[in-house]
Amino acid sequence: MKRGVTLKDIARKLNMSVSTVSKALSNDPTISLPTRARVKKLADEWNYIPNEAARHFKLSRTSTIGLIIPDLMDQYYALAINGAEKVAGQHQYNVIIAQSHEDPGREDEIVDLMLRNRVDGLLVAISKKREDMSVFKKTAYTGIPVIFFARPPKEDGFDAVISDNEHGAFKATEFLIKKGHKQIGYIMGPESMSVSYTRLDGYRRALDKYKLPYNGALVKSVDFTQEATFAAMRRFMKMATPPTAFFAFKNYIALDAIEYLKRKHPALLQQIDFAGFGNLPLLQYLDHKPVASIEESSYEMGEEAARLLLRTIHEEIPEEGRPVQHIQISCKLLVHK
Amino acid sequence: MKRGVTLKDIARKLNMSVSTVSKALSNDPTISLPTRARVKKLADEWNYIPNEAARHFKLSRTSTIGLIIPDLMDQYYALAINGAEKVAGQHQYNVIIAQSHEDPGREDEIVDLMLRNRVDGLLVAISKKREDMSVFKKTAYTGIPVIFFARPPKEDGFDAVISDNEHGAFKATEFLIKKGHKQIGYIMGPESMSVSYTRLDGYRRALDKYKLPYNGALVKSVDFTQEATFAAMRRFMKMATPPTAFFAFKNYIALDAIEYLKRKHPALLQQIDFAGFGNLPLLQYLDHKPVASIEESSYEMGEEAARLLLRTIHEEIPEEGRPVQHIQISCKLLVHK
DNA sequence: TTGTATGCGTTATCAA
DNA sequence: TTGATAACGCATACAA
């Protein structure tokens, strides 16, 4: 049988009604066991495959959630997807994935596509450059819940699951202080990202707690290019008393900073410590690496986000009556070697 | 308007028929411009979102292709996805992604799910342990074309896009030979993967070409665990004349091998060269790294696979009459530093 | 230029 | 225990 066997085909062959076949296949107890068996047997022989489009259409429910991330190449998101998929699967939900490639325009299209496909809810790690949140307001308006994760929107009023960046930064800085460092630089992320500042807060709180003075000159923002990091390091190392340790916004940045030292100040390489966000599996192969990483539990974040979304989907409370929901996932300090 | 505005809602409000509204929205020239404008205006105001489930159902075509890979965390596949998505997008096809996590059972479920969702075709990088290809035969039987990529099935008779592993292995080995090495080990991948042998062929051809004898003792298979690689290295280094260079099935394996030397034979570290498959961005930060990588163009592979699939979908020739299609993507030799 | 009618495959309700 | 029927939202052939 080519072109999709349907219930009707089976019904005709067995001289029963379509509804009987439908019920038999879904194990409806009002259908006699022998009938169920006959139907299943033929369905199997004929390779019957239910048409989900028709089911969804009929049921006006897809049991599918949409997941939008900036970039699949970033393992951080890949891991979050795994977490979300696990939770979704446990509730018989499917997940469809799409990437914005950091393009807000593409992101808009994806949201539209997913709404047209009638996903039951949306999980979104927003693209870096998004300013206008109207698409998501429109989404909320249609009654499709949206949970943001990892990358919260700048604007308030949206449900979100993010890692506890402030405390992670605190822990990293504290670790360096406890190792005896008194002059600690913060290689900050882009100023356009709110997380850069959240981590700055944690850095400052650690300094405060251990009575170390805060010095603005010890904080330099970089984008994620190697050149920017090199430039920042050049300026750091020109200071009268350069930092003896650095807290890096991301470990990728720390690696570039270490690379700079390798090239320009090899003698200092052993004495200067780094700690940064993001645990990278390949770190173990490096001879010179950060002494500690702050690991964001992105798997757990994916799980939490999915859980929150499913809860919201099944919520009876109307959108308006519900308070904004925020969940923070704690970060782990990982000491290397 | 909650719960999905439909064409009917719009039609009722504007006192027209559903079909007029439908045509107006799809810019049918038989509908007058003013009517089209009125319809579009209200559709916009009311936030009309077409129900794709209904369209698919009606059109019995989803313009969607399913993409199944073992693991999203592997950037190799993530990149292939990007390539496939690009090509699919150019032909107004959507892509849905799912991971098997190397579990053939899960893989079966995914295939089933995708068939139920009536994807127009399937792109599959098969899970490592799959033996039984019956699911895919069944798929072919339903008329849904399947293109395998990256990981070809062992069995013959399936369309596939893979990288030219044989020639890649040849190039890596040749590079080591040209560097002056005469005793070159091959740290082979799992024996359950056909690629392991394909690369062995390339290795042997290079030896042949440069009149070096092939020695079975210089080939040791490992799974991807560090322990296995350590064990293999231990045996290699116990040989009367140990290899002075290694061709590694994967660079991850090469890194473990280097790690072994670091711990057990630090003196030899500088003299022993490695070359392996898979370029890793983080390689640049390593002090001890392979001298060369074979880069598989997975992006290009994704593109090719998608192109082949779309071509097959639009093919008029029936399944049976079509010869098996195979495409090879060439690999690039990348010398480091 | 617009409207009517039909059917895509499935499930749910109700009747037999 | 089974069957008839309607309905989900949309696109299309055909009629007006």
In tens, the pLDDT along B231-270 reads 999 999 999 999 999 999 999 999 999 999 999 999 999 9
Could you say which of A2, A60, A116 has the minimum Cβ distance to residue B52? A116
- Give percent of chain B above pLDDT 70: 97
Could you say which of B47, B112, B285 has the minimum Cβ distance to residue A286? B285
Does B335 reside within a domain? no
**Closest nucleotide to residue B28 (Cα to C1')?**
C1
Kindly list the residues from chain B whose CB atom is less than 8 angstroms away from the CB atom of residue A286: 285-287
CB contact under 8 A, A52 and B118: yes
C-alpha A85/C-alpha A102 separation (Å) is 22
Separation of B58 CA and C7 C1' (Å): 8
The three-state DSSP-derived secondary structure of A300-318 is HHHHHHHHHHHHHHHCCCC
A61: Cβ under 7 Å from strand C?
A: no
Instruction: Give yes or no for residue B2 having a pLDDT over 50.
Output: no
Task: Report CA-CA distances (Å) from A220 to A186, A205, A236, A241, A278.
Answer: 7, 17, 8, 16, 19
B11 with B92, same domain: the answer is no
Residue in chain A nearest B66 by alpha carbon: A96
Name the residue closest to D9, CA to C1': B54
Separation of B311 CA and C6 C1' (Å): 33
CATH number, residue A194 = 3.40.50.2300
| Continuous segment of H or E residues that includes residue A102 | none
Residue A105, C-beta contacts closer than 8 angstroms, at least 6 positions apart: none
Does A25 reside within a domain? yes
* pLDDT confidence tier of residue B320, bands split at 50, 70 and 90: low
* pLDDT confidence tier of residue B3, bands split at 50, 70 and 90: low
Does A169 reside within a domain? yes
Task: Report CA-CA distances (Å) from B68 to A65, A198, A303, B220.
Answer: 18, 38, 22, 31
B35: Cβ under 7 Å from strand C?
A: yes
| Continuous segment of H or E residues that includes residue A146 | strand A146-149
A280 DSSP β-pair partners: none
C-alpha A126/C-alpha A118 separation (Å) is 20
- In this prediction the pTM is 0.88
A158 with A185, same domain: the answer is no
CB contact under 8 A, A53 and B49: no
pLDDT of residue A3: 62
* Residues 47-106 of B, Cβ under 7 A from nucleic strand C: 57-58, 60
A94 with A211, same domain: the answer is no
Does A337 reside within a domain? no
> Which value, in Å, is the radius of gyration of the alpha carbons in chain B?
26
C-alpha B26/C-alpha B18 separation (Å) is 13
Kindly list the residues from chain B whose CB atom is less than 8 angstroms away from the CB atom of residue A96: 96-97
pLDDT of residue B1: 37
Instruction: Give yes or no for residue B188 having a pLDDT over 50.
Output: yes
Separation of A9 CA and C10 C1' (Å): 13
Does A2 reside within a domain? no
- pLDDT digits over A104-113, tens only? 999 999 999 9
Separation of A24 CA and C15 C1' (Å): 19
Does B264 reside within a domain? yes
Separation of B14 CA and C7 C1' (Å): 25
CB contact under 8 A, A72 and B53: no
Kindly list the residues from chain B whose CB atom is less than 8 angstroms away from the CB atom of residue A73: 75, 78-79, 82
B194 with B245, same domain: the answer is yes
Separation of B56 CA and D9 C1' (Å): 11
Does B337 reside within a domain? no
Residue B37, C-beta contacts closer than 8 angstroms, at least 6 positions apart: none
CB contact under 8 A, B79 and A73: yes
B178 with B280, same domain: the answer is yes
Instruction: Give yes or no for residue B33 having a pLDDT over 50.
Output: yes
Kindly list the residues from chain B whose CB atom is less than 8 angstroms away from the CB atom of residue A141: 47
B27: Cβ under 7 Å from strand C?
A: no
The amino acid occupying position A269 is L
A192 versus B227: the higher-pLDDT residue is B227
**Closest nucleotide to residue A55 (Cα to C1')?**
C10
**Chain A closest CA to B89's CA: distance in Å?**
12
A99 with A148, same domain: the answer is yes
Q: Average pLDDT, stretch B47-75?
A: 91
Could you say which of B97, B258, B285 has the minimum Cβ distance to residue A255? B285
Could you say which of B72, B99, B141 has the minimum Cβ distance to residue A47? B141
CB contact under 8 A, A142 and B4: yes
Separation of B5 CA and D11 C1' (Å): 17
Alpha helix segments (H runs only) across B130-213? 134-141, 165-178, 194-209
B276 with B315, same domain: the answer is no
CB contact under 8 A, B72 and A72: yes
Total Cβ atoms within 10 A of residue A219: 17
Among B127, B85, B81, which residue's Cα sits nearest to residue B106? B127
Per DSSP, the residues of B79-118 read HHHHHHHHHHHHTT-EEEEEE-TT-HHHHHHHHHHHHHTT
Cα maximum dimension of chain B? 92
A4: Cβ under 7 Å from strand C?
A: yes
DSSP E strands in A164-321: the ranges are 184-188, 219-221, 245-248, 273-277, 292-295
B117 with B141, same domain: the answer is yes
Among B254, B282, B306, B275, which residue's Cα sits nearest to residue B95? B306
- pLDDT digits over B143-164, tens only? 889 999 998 888 888 999 999 9
Separation of A81 CA and D7 C1' (Å): 37
**Closest nucleotide to residue A53 (Cα to C1')?**
C9
CATH number, residue B14 = 1.10.260
A124 with A203, same domain: the answer is no
Could you say which of A47, A85, A287 has the minimum Cβ distance to residue B287? A287
The residue segments making up the domain with residue A32 are 7-48
**Chain A closest CA to B100's CA: distance in Å?**
11
Could you say which of A50, A72, A284 has the minimum Cβ distance to residue B78? A72
A157 with A112, same domain: the answer is yes
B305 with B240, same domain: the answer is no
A228 with A239, same domain: the answer is yes
A22: Cβ under 7 Å from strand C?
A: yes
CB contact under 8 A, B57 and A54: yes
Low-confidence spans in chain A with pLDDT less than 70: 1-3, 316-321
**Chain A closest CA to B250's CA: distance in Å?**
14
CB contact under 8 A, B53 and A117: yes
Chain D: positions less than 7 Å from a protein CB are 1-13
Does A74 reside within a domain? yes
How many domains would you assign to chain B?
Answer: 3
pLDDT of residue B20: 93
B26: Cβ under 7 Å from strand C?
A: no
